[in-house]
Amino acid sequence: MAGTAPRTIGVVGTGVIGAGWTVRALARGHAVVAWDPAPGAEERLRAAVDQAWPSATRLGLFPGADRSRLAWAATADDLAGRVDWIQENVPEDEDVKRPLLQALAGVAGPEVVIASSSSGLLPTRLQEGCRYPERVLIGHPFNPVYLLPLVEVVAGRQTSIEAVDAAQTHYDDLVMHPLVVRTEIEGYLSDRLQEALWREILHLVNDGVATTRELDEAVYYGPGLRWAGMGTNLTFHLAGGKGGMRHMLGQFGPALKLPWTKLEAPDLTSDLIEAMAAGCEEQAEGRSMTELERLRDDYLVNVMRSLRPLGLGAGQLVAEREARIHEAGLPAQWSEGDPVAAPLTLYETTVEPDWVDYNGHMSEWAFLTAFGWASDKLFRYVGIDEDYRSAGHTFFTVETHLNYVREASLTDPLRFTTQVLGVDAKRLHFFHAMEHATTGDLLCTTEQMLLHVDTRVGSTTPLLPGPAAALTAIAKAHADLPVPPQVGQVMGLT
């Protein structure tokens, strides 16, 4: 879906998970009303939002995303009467959650879904005694919520199909992957899988077989990289060769009877607790929790982006997020008679982490990548979109001139202007200027010549009428602009 109009999201309980939901909703461009009875909770939440905002920014902010859209409610009842959706995040204690959910349900309108971020409690028990219990369900996320896309949706016996559908729509709007758990079960799906691995880790450390570092290396150097894109089942399916999973189970299935693992958790003795804690502290190498959180956020963004070109796992959602952000930030497509800005300003962004080199400066290739997004904005403005390209029509770049003027650093705000220098039936000549959005300093320019082609036959072809009319109108509006001094330059020694 392309997304819904801005809404107001209620966040009840503002610890780690509640803060993550707050950042995710604010980054989507929604308003947030939060409440937590703990002393100092508002100050801690705002500090947590500030801490996470750079990571959310690197993942991509929607138009309207603004930390100032976070408001604090005086009471739970006050919050319930002001929001379109409620996400509850109080401690994992049924005796705490149930009365709170009942109180929220007593005030919120019947159309407001109330989702609990519980990681294992049964929604049937949580919705008991609630007004309109059919709108109460589980929306279990994964930390950090503002980056990880998975959210498990679990219905209770009284939850309506409409509420589950609304939850899927809501979480999709936040560019998440809503996984509907079809059978109500304690721990749901992902935590049960994590729990099995966690119990085996405790046994291996308890038995002196391996340290915490060795066990983590056994994951992140090997299966962890595969899991990010394909998960366990498809990975093993591939391991079976041409016979797939059937061959895999036929060949290795008997090994499942061997005592390779211990699924019963060991006693948490003081020695085991100390071994686990000491091992993790040694791995931290003196780094603070804040430093480790930032490191985690950085690598999660980069891992997800590395999967983006392949369309695998979270990388597919990163690509979808980028497409939605660019779509949401576009002006209306040009129509006959619309005024044309001279020059056009269609694209703004920030320098992304994978655009910079070891000096923290934007790499040469990244300037061209950024200009490519500016070109995409121009194309969409004139009507060249996915439907146009799927019909076999597109532009191919045949010549590019880049002029680097100033360095750009990580997170610098960028603004692009576009000037159409000329257009005919099959050719487009334009000029982009990249400026620092705050200072106005010119950073880089590009001049490009493109040919319009029919990809089905592999040859040039005239523009279709709609884009042709739009580009002609833009070229006419830009005809009186001075020709930038970088246009037509030739490289050489004098």
Residue 3 pLDDT exceeds 50: no
How far apart (Å, rounded) are the C-alpha atoms in residues 234 and 86? Answer: 35
So what's the pLDDT on residue 174?
97
Task: Please state the CATH superfamily assignment of the domain spanning residues 8-188 in this structure.
Answer: NAD(P)-binding Rossmann-like Domain (3.40.50.720)
Rounded-to-10 torsion of CA 265, 266, 269, 274: -70
Count of CB atoms within 10 A of residue 123's CB? 25
Q: How far apart are CA 437 and CA 350, in angstroms?
A: 9
Segments of the chain assigned to CATH 3.10.129.10: 331-478
Yes or no: domain 191-286 corresponds to CATH 1.10.1040.10: yes
Quick check: 459 pLDDT over 90? Answer: yes
Type of residue found at 170 = H
pLDDT digits (tens, 9 = 90+) for 8-55: 999 999 999 999 999 999 999 999 999 999 999 999 999 999 999 999
Which ranges in the chain are annotated with CATH 1.10.1040.10? 191-286
For the chain, the distance separating the N- and C-terminal CA atoms, rounded to the nearest angstrom, is 56
249 contact partners, CB below 8 Å, separation of at least 6: 240
Q: What is the pTM of this model?
A: 0.80
Confidence of residue 359 (pLDDT cuts 50, 70, 90): confident
* Angle at which helices 289-307 and 223-239 cross, to 10°: 40
**Ranges 124-133, 307-316, 372-381, 440-449: which has the least confidence:** 307-316
The span from the CA of 332 to the CA of 383, in Å, is: 10
pLDDT > 70 fraction of the chain, expressed in percent and rounded: 95
pLDDT at 4: 62
pLDDT value for 258: 63
Mean pLDDT of 162-171: 98
pLDDT at 1: 38
> In the structure, what pLDDT confidence band is assigned to residue 69 with cuts at 50, 70 and 90?
very high
Mean pLDDT across the stretch 87-110? 97
Mean pLDDT of 222-251: 78
Q: Quick one: average pLDDT of 338-358?
A: 90
Query: To the nearest whole number, what is the mean pLDDT of the chain?
Result: 91
The more confidently predicted of residues 222 and 113 is 113
Average pLDDT rounded to a whole number, residues 400-428: 96
pLDDT higher than threshold 60 for residue 310? yes
Q: Is the pLDDT of residue 450 over 80?
A: yes
Q: pLDDT confidence of 256, banded at 50, 70, 90?
A: low
Q: Please report, for residues 1, 45, 201, the alpha-carbon distance to residue 24 in angstroms, rounded to integers and kept in the order given.
A: 17, 13, 32
Provide mean pLDDT across the span 450-455. 97
Q: What is the pLDDT of residue 324?
A: 84
381 has pLDDT over 80: yes
**Cα–Cα distance measured from residue 129 to residue 206, given in angstroms and rounded to the nearest whole number:** 44
Domain with CATH 3.40.50.720 in the chain: 8-188
What is the average per-residue pLDDT within 465-493? Answer: 94
Query: What confidence tens digit (pLDDT) does each residue in 209-223 have?
Result: 999 999 999 998 888
Complete DSSP assignment for 339-373: ---SSEEEEEEE--GGGB-TTSBB-HHHHHHHHHH
pLDDT band at 227, cuts 50/70/90? confident
140-157: pLDDT as tens digits: 999 999 999 999 999 999
pLDDT score at 490 = 84
Please tell me the predicted confidence (pLDDT) of residue 68.
96
**What is the number of other CB atoms lying within 10 angstroms of the CB of residue 210?**
15
**70, 9 in Cβ contact below 8 A?**
no
| CATH number 3.10.580.10 given to 331-478 | no
pLDDT of residue 253: 64
Helix, strand or coil, per DSSP, at residue 254: helix
Q: Which pLDDT score, from 0 to 100, does residue 6 have? A: 82
Average pLDDT of the segment spanning 267-281: 83
Res 492: pLDDT: 82
Check residue 252 and give its pLDDT. Answer: 67
* CA-to-CA separations, 389 to 135, 167, 394, 422, 455, in angstroms, rounded: 42, 33, 6, 22, 9
How confident is the model over 67-91, as a mean pLDDT?
97
**In this predicted structure, what is the pLDDT of residue 411?**
86
Question: Does residue 287 have a pLDDT over 80?
Answer: yes
Q: How far apart are CA 185 and CA 154, in angstroms?
A: 9
